[in-house]
Structure 1
């Protein structure tokens, strides 16, 4: 398997079990497996799922922190031809219920501790099994992970084809409801090929530690490390002191992060001493998920040297649409006065990128419009949502909703988003979901939710509200209410109460005016 070859996801994973049989494959704080040992467990797990009656295309929910068990499930789903639906443990049960009803899963894998705390009311009654992950006691009605794996056999089965569905990626919906993005095995293979092409030095001797959820960005690096025969280490959560210890120890060479984590890690490293341009043996720090402030990118380069690698992508069009290489993390400014390290990098080898107007007609270099992309990385559309598919996908092109331009040097700059999505801590959030909750609070007359600039989170969710006459609702009460009804990362960090929200000519709330005030003096709006 070469870095320029597109290999479907399931086929890639199956080949690694033989090609790198004796090499260490996965490790967490409980166990380590070689590729051969991992392959045996994965095949048994896929067999156990078939034993429950699952067939190609059936959906499997995974909701758990990073772990070797998570890695086994993800690979078993891939080689078995099932469809992965990976969810964040921070989601509220009401949100989980919406997603589960839409995905219609056959099996749910969930962390035992989390399941005991959150309960299983969100799980549809038609599921054929609930499997508990982790060392905690198994809740009633669930099967322990190891016991479930033991019901399967180590047997080969037909691998899925490239156009078969591999995953449904749920993102916040612009209507306030989650939206599932379909991803095929070829789409995932294109992601692996694209990232490997941008990280040519990555090989079988490399060790990556995953502290961001492997259900999201870090999972793409997890696949690439596996394709190269390297070792993937899994941490259940990001803790800056622990990550700094691992990096300084020399144990790891690849450290995928989202910008929020970079900020917290830099703060920890600063407490430990001045930058030297090298931290342990770390040679690649891939990052994605949201923009990083130029000053933070400069500081990161001071500590890690030529290791910083930005990858830009979307759920609908997998990364890397564009990539900012280590050598391009420089302060050279373009004719708009923006430094190169504020860009998303240059469009990558295997994709097409265009800047288009409101009629989807291409614009010349230097003009601002919507970012569109075409190639094997573009998914087939949304799960059970034809209207949304027709809006975002057309003639092989995906219209990302991001607004930007390509400068005179060929670098892609993302300036804003056509729609109102907020990226906070690397997670995508649509304001409508939060507005729907806030508007239910007695005394709230109007609400607009936006992203405000934040050094730690990239964007901090900010609710701007007006109250009915005579109401004395406090900002803290709004935040408390949201915490009871939303996943933690969707709860507003700030609530601003004003007399009247600005309106446009049609009477709609003028979010542009509100956003302009929040982002005054900033070069970028993401």
Structure 2
């Protein structure tokens, strides 16, 4: 087949087209058109494909063959995306993981994945695997021509963004070919997207790596910065952007004269997920760009089920994450596996009726939560009478205070209503009387002095939650409480405070 045969008459990817070949097909069709803007570099489709082809041949020289696993571990940079496509071009399985892992965590994951090699840079923790350093100049002799079509199955392995601290990798059984699992109604073909998150997570994968296979221009930040994000929106005029609530909050809490002056009119879709969004922040964005453009999704890398809610629906049902996607059904179970009626809190399960053969995920390093035809992310919540879902928190994050179940997300949302607060995390610490007491870790906005009395500083916000849910102690920090993907590693926070 010719490269052009993998695109339809509109230049859009054909179902079944290998991901690696699609980049070459767009390079042939679009040539010098901009494909990627990242880290001060701008690459055309032709340049990005040529670099990916050379990198693929370097991986071949290290012994990478179809079906082999390749760990990709580095900060957001052009070579990260080149490595993803280079791996697919060989029919190998990319496994992107965080470069922020400590050596012991990295070693555990390497032991679970058993990769043929690791692709990274000076930030990558050391291991015994063959290592391709992307900062080393490409030796002569590695051609930039397209490679023969190849398909990886599974298509990728992604690391979990969970908070338990236990390494877990998710095998995506869908091959590395274009299909409905990779397309999105909220990310049309041939647009400009803006990604602010780390590339080893699922949402940046969907909004930075996949759009290139559609012939879209992708703008990606090396690291999120609220002022920098506004500048990129004005410069590149993206159609679709993806953010996590922490990022949404940091933009919204910039000085009003800055946000009022920013031109955000190009944004047709603001896609957010990964963590609960404080209601005040959600309303700020709805007021700023329009309710029809703010879309929240609840789901996971495992694709066991999902919900979606538009801004106008959320205004009618504040706090909801929406209704089940077509083909999915939400079932709330108690601790004994009994189905609960609306308004009763229990573990959220999905029944995915549309799942077909060869689309069932698997874990490396953990067990699934499958119960018959039901599966769960481990989150707690309830349904209203119309089938709209509300998240309470993750089961592993729940704190039992004097026999009462407390969900930190509710308290964190209240604390973050304070404009001087950027972010917060609430954890349980041992208490002789109550079993556990609530402790709040609060990240202050730049320029805000640390209060002498933390509980008094937050009194207005904490007064909105029940007395037994109020933290007994508060600490303030200038360090990020959440990671770049908006996740809180509560296990680590708790361990640090327990010494």
**Secondary structure of 2:219's match?**
strand
How far off is 1:457 after superposition?
6.5
TM-score (normalised: structure 1):
0.67
Match status 1:94 vs 2:104: yes
Per-residue CA deviations over 1:312-353 (Å, capped at 9, x if unaligned) read 1123337x71111243242x24xxxxx2xx211222235443
For residue 315 of structure 1, what is the aligned residue in structure 2?
Answer: 301
Per-residue CA deviations over 1:376-432 (Å, capped at 9, x if unaligned) read 5975221154xx13xx1355542221122232233221122233389xxxxxxxxxx
TM-score (normalised: structure 2):
0.71
Match status 1:460 vs 2:425: yes
After TM superposition, the structure 1 = structure 2 runs for residues 11-410 of structure 1, keeping only pairs within 5 Å, are: 11-19=18-26, 21-22=29-30, 23-112=33-122, 114-115=123-124, 120=125, 122-123=126-127, 125=128, 127-133=129-135, 144=136, 146-147=137-138, 151=142, 154-160=145-151, 163-172=153-162, 174=164, 176-186=165-175, 192-193=181-182, 196-197=184-185, 199=186, 202-204=188-190, 206-216=191-201, 217-249=203-235, 251-268=237-254, 270-272=256-258, 274=260, 279-305=264-290, 306-317=292-303, 321-330=306-315, 332-333=316-317, 339=318, 342-358=319-335, 360=337, 362-373=339-350, 374=352, 375-376=354-355, 379-383=360-364, 385=366, 388-389=367-368, 392-395=369-372, 397-410=374-387
Distance 1:461 1:303, change over 3 A: same
Q: Once structures 1 and 2 are overlaid, which stretch shifts more, 149-158 or 297-306? A: 149-158
**Secondary structure of 1:393's match?**
coil
**Secondary structure of 1:90's match?**
coil
How far off is 1:128 after superposition?
2.2
Q: How many residues align?
A: 414
Is the CA contact (8 Å cut-off) linking 1:28 and 1:234 kept in structure 2? yes
Unaligned runs of 5+ in 1: 134-143, 334-338, 423-447, 468-474, 480-512, 520-525
CA distance in 1, matches of 2:243, 2:65: 35
**Secondary structure of 1:279's match?**
coil
Is the CA contact (8 Å cut-off) linking 2:120 and 2:131 kept in structure 1? no
Unaligned runs of 5+ in 2: 1-6, 400-405, 433-438, 443-465, 473-487, 489-499
How far off is 1:196 after superposition?
0.9
Is the CA contact (8 Å cut-off) linking 1:168 and 1:383 kept in structure 2? no
Per-residue CA deviations over 1:67-111 (Å, capped at 9, x if unaligned) read 221111112223323222222233222322222232222222223
Is the CA contact (8 Å cut-off) linking 1:14 and 1:39 kept in structure 2? no
How far off is 1:360 after superposition?
4.6
- Computed over aligned residues only, the root mean square deviation of the Cα atoms, in angstroms, reads 4.0
CA distance in 1, matches of 2:388, 2:280: 19
